[in-house]
Structure formats: structure tokens, C-alpha cells
Amino acid sequence: METKKSQAREYNSLFQLFKTPAPQLPQFFAYAGEDSYEFELIVEHYRETLQKTLGAFEVILIVPESGEQTKLFAELFTPDMFYPKKLIIIKNATALFKPILDGKASNEWKDYATGFRKNITAVSDEIFALIHYDGKEVPKSLTELFQGTLSFFKTKVLYPNDYPKIFKEVCDQEQVHFEPNAIEEFIHRTPANVGAYIKSVKKLKQYLHRSKFTIEDVNSILFSQNELNTNVLVESLIQKRKIDFFKEFTKFNDQNSEILNFLTRLTYKLDEIRKIKVIRSRHNGEVPIPIMDELLKTGSYSEARKNFVRRQLVSDSANFTDKLLDLFYDQVIEMNIKFKSGLRDEEGKNYFIQKIMHLFALLQDKSSK
């Protein structure tokens, strides 16, 4: 008989998971990505679903601290007559599982892994585990540790042609409707990931207590002047508007997610500039709309939006040589590595400002030659 343990699979989207019937909800599920809000959405979905199917259950939090691997082993494999129904939530799993999955693991950790693999397929069906694997991939060694019982979802880079589809899925999930110009504004100004989309839609519902929204609603609730707008940071940097950049940066509230969103947006922008330069080099300085639609995936945009994007990117591309683009890419990669490795707080803020000043200097050097 097929069980939840034998149905382990990779999910293509969070919505696919959210639509999974309760009896088929994966017993062990890993989320690979850096968006903690998306993981919390998964946790909340499991809480609500298990409340209906299991009734009362215990929630166990596992974090990468000393002794937590032993705690995880006990919670999974030791029968508990008082709390037999459990939802185990594992955060920062990269660090937690590192000594267990290490190819040069000590004999102690090798024994741990052997015991884990031996017992995982016999875990009670009333025990569930959610894993936030804070990286881009779920390593094969982790799925092997779970003996093929681990379902998972890996976050993917979203491109402009993906935005309308993802937005529609979010609206269907949340049962909301946006006016056409509100859709365009939302997609243009909201960070391009499912978590940010859902968080913003929920915020609109919470503040306005309705399910239909206008462009005025989107601007007044989501893009107030008190919240950092990473789009403004990117445009200010690319257009060499240093004063505007640091005016917007005063809204920074020491969250690494804001800097990582900025770096993602900046990477997209650099990609767009590179593609525009290629198009112009092949079409005598022109940017034909059909070619732009193909390379920049702008086919879903309105004609007015397409023309605006074309004019803006042509103007922005004038600030960059191929060599300068490469230098920008190098700096973005370096910053991504730093912040994904745990750089934060005052040290992270100072490092970020230093790097941004360097990027402004590179742009200035180009314009002065």
C-alpha cells in the first residue's frame, strides 16, 4: 500500500503544496530558499491542516545549537505517550545537518546518520517535520538521509514573464481581485518572489478588509514613504542619483532580506541592460519591440509600459560599458556571498554603504572619461 512516506516528490510551486489534499500532505517536507516568510507560510499551512486532521498536537522547534541534533533524533524516533502527535520545525537546517552529512564526518556522526536512516521509514504517521534548508538546493545527501521519504520545494529565480502568472496564482490563492493598473503597479514595485507577493496581498486584506483593490490602495498601503523601496535604490544607483539613493536608504531597518532583495533586483536590472546593449548592437542602435519582448519577456506588458521600459533601459545602458557591467556583476556576487554568509547589523550596514560608494565611483569614472 502506498503511504505518505512513499509519495515523496519535488513540488514545482508552493501553490501545488497548498492545494495538496490533507491526507496526502507530505510527512517530511524541505523548503530550499532564503525567504523566511515563504517558509513561515508553509508552517502556517501545516498548522491549520494538521489541526483539522490530527486535533491537538505539539510543536517542536529545532535550531542549529549544541545538542539539537540529539533532540531531533529523540523527537522523531522515541515514542511519547503524552505527546504522540507532533509538528517538528527545523530552522537553519544547513548548519544543523552539516556535521551529519559531512563526507569526512566523525564516527559519532556516522553512527547518528546510520541510526537515522534505519529508523526514518518507521516514524509514526502522526509526526510531521518541516525543514528550512537555507540554500538553493536540497542536497542529495539529505534526501538519502531520509531514505526517499523527503518531499521538497526549491525556490527559483523569477523573470519578468513569470510575474503575471505568479501574481494570478497568489490572487487565486487569496481570493482577491486587482484593477488592471493596480496589477501593473503591484508587479512593478513588489520584490519578485512568491513570499513578497503573498505578504503584500495579505497586508492589503488586513488593512482594507476587502478583496478588490485599486492602484490607490496599492500605493497607499504597500508603498508608503516610511518603507524601503528596493526599486528606488536600484534606479537611483543605475542613474547615478547618489542623494536619492541615500535618502531612500534612511528607511533601511537592518534586515538582511532588504539588502538581498536589492541585490536580486540589481542583478535583474544589469541583465536587462546587457540584453538592451546586445539588441541595439544588432539593430543599428534601435530596440524593436518584438525583439525586446522575446529577450526581456515583456510580452505581457501594456504598450505604454513597453515604451516606457524601452526608453528607460536605453537611457540606463548609456551609463555602462561592457567592462563596467562586468565590474558591477563581480561586486554584486561578492556582496551576495557576504550577506548570505551571515554578515549583518552595523558591520553589514557599513560594508554595504562602502560597496555602494564604490559602485557610484565606478559610474562616475565612466562618465568622466
Q: Where are the beta strands (DSSP E) in 96-172?
A: 127-133, 150-154
Architecture field, domain 228-369: Up-down Bundle (1.20)
> Cα(30)–Cα(40) distance, rounded to whole angstroms?
12
Confidence at 4, pLDDT banded by 50, 70, 90: low
Cell of 84: 504522540
Mean pLDDT, range 213-237, rounded to an integer: 86
Cell of 235: 534606479
Residue 2's pLDDT is: 44
pLDDT one-digit tens code per residue, 98-151 = 999 988 889 999 999 999 999 999 999 999 999 999 878 899 999 999 999 999
Are β-strands 86-90 and 127-133 bridged in parallel, bridged antiparallel, or unpaired?
Answer: parallel
Please say whether the beta carbons of 222 and 200 come within 8 A. Answer: yes
At 175, give phi and psi (nearest 5°). Answer: 55, 55
5 has a pLDDT exceeding 60: no
172 has a pLDDT exceeding 50: yes
Mean pLDDT, range 21-28, rounded to an integer: 93
> Cα(240)–Cα(242) distance, rounded to whole angstroms?
6
271 has a pLDDT exceeding 60: yes
Amino acid in position 316:
D
pLDDT one-digit tens code per residue, 325-365 = 999 999 999 998 888 777 778 888 899 999 999 999 999 88
pLDDT one-digit tens code per residue, 40-83 = 899 999 999 999 998 889 999 998 888 899 999 999 998 777 77
Residue 366's pLDDT is: 67
192 has a pLDDT exceeding 60: yes
Confidence at 369, pLDDT banded by 50, 70, 90: low
Residue 263: partners with Cβ closer than 8 Å, 6 or more residues away: 332, 335, 336, 339
Architecture field, domain 157-224: Orthogonal Bundle (1.10)
Every domain range in the chain assigned CATH 3.40.50.300: 5-154
Are β-strands 10-11 and 177-178 bridged in parallel, bridged antiparallel, or unpaired?
Answer: unpaired
Amino acid in position 203:
K
Every domain range in the chain assigned CATH 1.10.8.60: 157-224
Residue 241's pLDDT is: 93
3 has a pLDDT exceeding 70: no
Every domain range in the chain assigned CATH 1.20.272: 228-369
Architecture field, domain 5-154: 3-Layer(aba) Sandwich (3.40)
DSSP secondary structure string, 175-194? T-EE-HHHHHHHHHHS-SSH
> Residue 70: CA atoms inside 13 Å, Cβ hemisphere, count?
4
